[in-house]
Structure 1
Protein backbone atom coordinates (compact mmCIF):
# COMPACT_ATOMS: atom_id res chain seq x y z
CA UNK A 1 0.00 0.00 0.00
CA UNK A 2 1.33 3.45 -0.90
CA UNK A 3 2.40 5.67 2.02
CA UNK A 4 -0.10 8.36 0.97
CA UNK A 5 -2.93 5.80 1.19
CA UNK A 6 -1.76 4.66 4.64
CA UNK A 7 -1.67 8.29 5.76
CA UNK A 8 -5.20 8.91 4.47
CA UNK A 9 -6.45 5.80 6.27
CA UNK A 10 -4.75 6.90 9.51
CA UNK A 11 -6.39 10.31 9.16
CA UNK A 12 -9.72 8.53 8.74
CA UNK A 13 -9.13 6.57 11.94
CA UNK A 14 -8.21 9.71 13.87
CA UNK A 15 -11.19 11.61 12.45
CA UNK A 16 -13.55 8.80 13.38
CA UNK A 17 -12.05 8.61 16.88
CA UNK A 18 -12.63 12.35 17.30
CA UNK A 19 -16.23 11.99 16.11
CA UNK A 20 -16.76 9.12 18.54
CA UNK A 21 -15.38 11.21 21.42
CA UNK A 22 -17.65 14.13 20.52
CA UNK A 23 -20.71 11.84 20.36
CA UNK A 24 -19.91 10.49 23.82
CA UNK A 25 -19.51 14.00 25.22
CA UNK A 26 -22.71 15.22 23.57
CA UNK A 27 -24.71 12.23 24.78
CA UNK A 28 -22.99 12.40 28.18
CA UNK A 29 -22.40 8.64 28.00
CA UNK A 30 -19.04 8.50 29.71
CA UNK A 31 -19.31 4.74 30.12
CA UNK A 32 -20.54 4.07 26.59
CA UNK A 33 -20.01 0.67 25.03
CA UNK A 34 -17.20 -0.48 22.81
CA UNK A 35 -15.88 1.46 19.87
CA UNK A 36 -16.13 0.32 16.30
CA UNK A 37 -12.61 -0.76 15.43
CA UNK A 38 -13.52 -2.12 12.02
CA UNK A 39 -11.50 0.51 10.19
CA UNK A 40 -8.45 -0.20 12.32
CA UNK A 41 -8.73 -3.92 11.61
CA UNK A 42 -9.21 -3.23 7.91
CA UNK A 43 -6.12 -1.01 7.82
CA UNK A 44 -4.02 -3.66 9.56
CA UNK A 45 -5.32 -6.38 7.25
CA UNK A 46 -4.48 -4.30 4.18
CA UNK A 47 -1.13 -3.04 5.45
CA UNK A 48 0.34 -6.18 6.94
CA UNK A 49 1.85 -8.60 4.44
CA UNK A 50 0.71 -12.17 4.10
CA UNK A 51 3.66 -14.35 5.07
CA UNK A 52 4.19 -17.92 4.01
CA UNK A 53 6.54 -19.70 6.35
CA UNK A 54 8.11 -22.90 5.03
CA UNK A 55 7.31 -25.95 7.14
CA UNK A 56 11.01 -26.72 7.57
CA UNK A 57 11.91 -23.22 8.80
CA UNK A 58 13.72 -23.00 12.10
CA UNK A 59 12.45 -20.61 14.79
CA UNK A 60 15.29 -18.19 13.94
CA UNK A 61 14.44 -18.31 10.23
CA UNK A 62 10.75 -17.70 11.06
CA UNK A 63 11.64 -14.72 13.26
CA UNK A 64 13.88 -13.24 10.57
CA UNK A 65 11.22 -13.69 7.89
CA UNK A 66 8.47 -12.13 10.01
CA UNK A 67 10.69 -9.22 11.08
CA UNK A 68 11.70 -8.51 7.49
CA UNK A 69 8.17 -8.73 6.09
CA UNK A 70 6.28 -6.98 8.90
CA UNK A 71 8.92 -4.37 9.72
CA UNK A 72 8.23 -2.26 6.64
CA UNK A 73 4.48 -2.23 7.24
CA UNK A 74 4.98 -1.21 10.86
CA UNK A 75 7.31 1.59 9.78
CA UNK A 76 4.62 2.83 7.37
CA UNK A 77 1.97 2.89 10.09
CA UNK A 78 4.25 4.56 12.64
CA UNK A 79 5.31 7.18 10.10
CA UNK A 80 1.69 8.01 9.24
CA UNK A 81 0.56 8.24 12.87
CA UNK A 82 3.67 10.27 13.73
CA UNK A 83 3.06 12.74 10.91
CA UNK A 84 -0.56 13.22 11.99
CA UNK A 85 0.52 13.66 15.62
CA UNK A 86 3.15 16.26 14.72
CA UNK A 87 0.69 18.21 12.56
CA UNK A 88 -1.86 18.24 15.38
CA UNK A 89 0.77 19.08 18.01
CA UNK A 90 2.14 22.01 16.01
CA UNK A 91 -1.28 23.64 15.82
CA UNK A 92 -1.91 22.94 19.48
CA UNK A 93 1.46 24.36 20.52
CA UNK A 94 0.96 27.46 18.38
CA UNK A 95 -2.14 28.29 20.39
CA UNK A 96 -4.28 28.92 17.31
CA UNK A 97 -7.84 29.06 18.59
CA UNK A 98 -9.57 29.16 15.21
CA UNK A 99 -8.12 25.90 13.86
CA UNK A 100 -9.72 22.63 14.96
CA UNK A 101 -8.15 19.20 14.93
CA UNK A 102 -10.62 18.29 12.17
CA UNK A 103 -9.26 21.22 10.12
CA UNK A 104 -5.70 20.01 10.61
CA UNK A 105 -6.57 16.43 9.63
CA UNK A 106 -8.51 17.61 6.58
CA UNK A 107 -5.56 19.73 5.43
CA UNK A 108 -3.20 16.81 5.99
CA UNK A 109 -5.46 14.52 3.97
CA UNK A 110 -5.44 17.01 1.10
CA UNK A 111 -1.65 17.11 1.19
CA UNK A 112 -1.29 13.31 1.53
CA UNK A 113 -0.76 12.91 -2.20
CA UNK A 114 2.51 14.80 -1.84
CA UNK A 115 3.88 12.21 0.58
CA UNK A 116 6.65 10.20 -1.06
CA UNK A 117 7.97 6.77 -0.14
CA UNK A 118 5.62 3.97 -1.06
CA UNK A 119 5.21 0.56 0.41
CA UNK A 120 6.85 -1.45 3.16
CA UNK A 121 9.65 -2.67 0.93
CA UNK A 122 10.79 0.81 0.00
CA UNK A 123 13.28 2.89 1.89
CA UNK A 124 12.36 6.47 2.74
CA UNK A 125 16.03 7.56 2.98
Structure 2
Protein backbone atom coordinates (compact mmCIF):
# COMPACT_ATOMS: atom_id res chain seq x y z
CA UNK A 1 0.00 0.00 0.00
CA UNK A 2 1.36 3.41 -0.96
CA UNK A 3 2.12 5.98 1.76
CA UNK A 4 -0.57 8.35 0.46
CA UNK A 5 -3.23 5.66 0.83
CA UNK A 6 -2.05 4.82 4.34
CA UNK A 7 -2.20 8.52 5.23
CA UNK A 8 -5.75 8.83 3.89
CA UNK A 9 -6.83 5.81 5.94
CA UNK A 10 -5.23 7.29 9.07
CA UNK A 11 -7.04 10.57 8.40
CA UNK A 12 -10.30 8.61 8.16
CA UNK A 13 -9.65 6.98 11.53
CA UNK A 14 -8.83 10.34 13.15
CA UNK A 15 -11.88 11.97 11.57
CA UNK A 16 -14.15 9.20 12.88
CA UNK A 17 -12.63 9.52 16.35
CA UNK A 18 -13.28 13.27 16.29
CA UNK A 19 -16.90 12.70 15.31
CA UNK A 20 -17.35 10.27 18.20
CA UNK A 21 -15.83 12.70 20.68
CA UNK A 22 -18.33 15.38 19.65
CA UNK A 23 -21.44 13.21 19.89
CA UNK A 24 -23.92 14.94 22.23
CA UNK A 25 -24.53 11.67 24.10
CA UNK A 26 -20.88 10.62 24.13
CA UNK A 27 -19.32 7.85 22.12
CA UNK A 28 -22.07 5.73 20.49
CA UNK A 29 -22.48 2.20 21.86
CA UNK A 30 -21.67 0.66 18.47
CA UNK A 31 -18.46 2.69 18.17
CA UNK A 32 -16.47 0.06 20.04
CA UNK A 33 -17.41 -2.52 17.43
CA UNK A 34 -16.92 -0.16 14.47
CA UNK A 35 -13.70 1.56 15.63
CA UNK A 36 -11.49 -1.45 16.13
CA UNK A 37 -12.85 -2.86 12.88
CA UNK A 38 -11.54 0.16 10.95
CA UNK A 39 -8.16 -0.04 12.66
CA UNK A 40 -7.93 -3.81 12.23
CA UNK A 41 -8.82 -3.47 8.54
CA UNK A 42 -6.02 -0.94 8.11
CA UNK A 43 -3.57 -3.27 9.85
CA UNK A 44 -4.73 -6.21 7.75
CA UNK A 45 -4.30 -4.17 4.57
CA UNK A 46 -0.87 -2.80 5.48
CA UNK A 47 0.78 -5.71 7.26
CA UNK A 48 2.10 -8.58 5.18
CA UNK A 49 1.45 -12.21 5.97
CA UNK A 50 4.57 -13.55 7.64
CA UNK A 51 5.57 -17.19 7.52
CA UNK A 52 7.69 -18.42 10.41
CA UNK A 53 9.41 -21.79 10.00
CA UNK A 54 8.43 -24.21 12.76
CA UNK A 55 12.05 -24.81 13.69
CA UNK A 56 13.05 -21.12 13.83
CA UNK A 57 14.91 -19.94 16.91
CA UNK A 58 13.83 -16.89 18.88
CA UNK A 59 16.59 -14.85 17.22
CA UNK A 60 15.51 -16.02 13.75
CA UNK A 61 11.87 -15.18 14.50
CA UNK A 62 12.89 -11.73 15.66
CA UNK A 63 14.93 -11.15 12.50
CA UNK A 64 12.11 -12.37 10.24
CA UNK A 65 9.53 -10.15 11.96
CA UNK A 66 11.81 -7.12 11.91
CA UNK A 67 12.53 -7.58 8.22
CA UNK A 68 8.91 -8.26 7.20
CA UNK A 69 7.12 -5.77 9.46
CA UNK A 70 9.61 -2.98 10.11
CA UNK A 71 8.92 -1.00 6.95
CA UNK A 72 5.17 -1.35 7.29
CA UNK A 73 5.22 -0.22 10.93
CA UNK A 74 7.32 2.77 9.86
CA UNK A 75 4.73 3.54 7.16
CA UNK A 76 1.90 3.59 9.72
CA UNK A 77 3.93 5.57 12.25
CA UNK A 78 4.86 8.12 9.60
CA UNK A 79 1.22 8.61 8.60
CA UNK A 80 0.11 9.20 12.20
CA UNK A 81 3.10 11.51 12.81
CA UNK A 82 2.31 13.59 9.73
CA UNK A 83 -1.32 14.00 10.80
CA UNK A 84 -0.26 14.82 14.37
CA UNK A 85 2.19 17.52 13.27
CA UNK A 86 -0.26 19.09 10.86
CA UNK A 87 -2.79 19.37 13.67
CA UNK A 88 -0.18 20.49 16.22
CA UNK A 89 1.16 23.27 13.99
CA UNK A 90 -2.30 24.77 13.56
CA UNK A 91 -2.97 24.45 17.28
CA UNK A 92 0.37 26.00 18.23
CA UNK A 93 -0.15 28.90 15.85
CA UNK A 94 -3.28 29.85 17.79
CA UNK A 95 -5.46 29.86 14.70
CA UNK A 96 -9.14 29.74 15.54
CA UNK A 97 -10.42 30.00 11.97
CA UNK A 98 -9.47 26.40 11.17
CA UNK A 99 -10.89 23.26 12.77
CA UNK A 100 -9.14 19.92 13.18
CA UNK A 101 -11.49 18.55 10.52
CA UNK A 102 -10.41 21.35 8.14
CA UNK A 103 -6.76 20.43 8.71
CA UNK A 104 -7.40 16.73 8.12
CA UNK A 105 -9.43 17.43 4.97
CA UNK A 106 -6.67 19.65 3.58
CA UNK A 107 -4.07 16.99 4.39
CA UNK A 108 -6.19 14.35 2.62
CA UNK A 109 -6.46 16.58 -0.46
CA UNK A 110 -2.72 17.17 -0.48
CA UNK A 111 -2.04 13.46 -0.15
CA UNK A 112 -4.26 12.92 -3.22
CA UNK A 113 -2.19 15.29 -5.35
CA UNK A 114 1.14 14.03 -3.94
CA UNK A 115 0.31 10.39 -4.78
TM, length-normalised to structure 1? 0.83
Compare the two structures and name the one with the higher helix fraction: 2
Q: Displacement of 1:111 after TM fit?
A: 0.6
Tell me, in whole angstroms, the C-alpha distance in 2 between the residues paired with 1:60 and 1:4.
Answer: 33
1:40-85, Cα deviation, whole Å (9 max, x unpaired): 0100111111001122222211110001111111100100000000
1:1-125 map, 5 Å? 1-23=1-23, 26-27=24-25, 29=26, 33=29, 35=32, 36=34, 37-113=36-112, 114=114
Match in the other structure for 1:120: none
Which residue does the alignment assign to 1:123? none
Could you tell me which runs of 5 or more consecutive residues in structure 2 were left unpaired when the two chains were aligned.
none
- Long gaps (5+) in structure 1: 116-125
RMSD value, Cα? 1.5
Q: In structure 2, what is the Cα distance between the partners aligned to 1:18 and 1:91?
A: 16
Count of residue pairs the alignment pairs up: 111
Q: In structure 2, what is the Cα distance between the partners aligned to 1:103 and 1:49?
A: 33
- 2:58 and 2:86 mapped to 1: Cα distance? 41
**TM-score, length basis structure 2:** 0.89
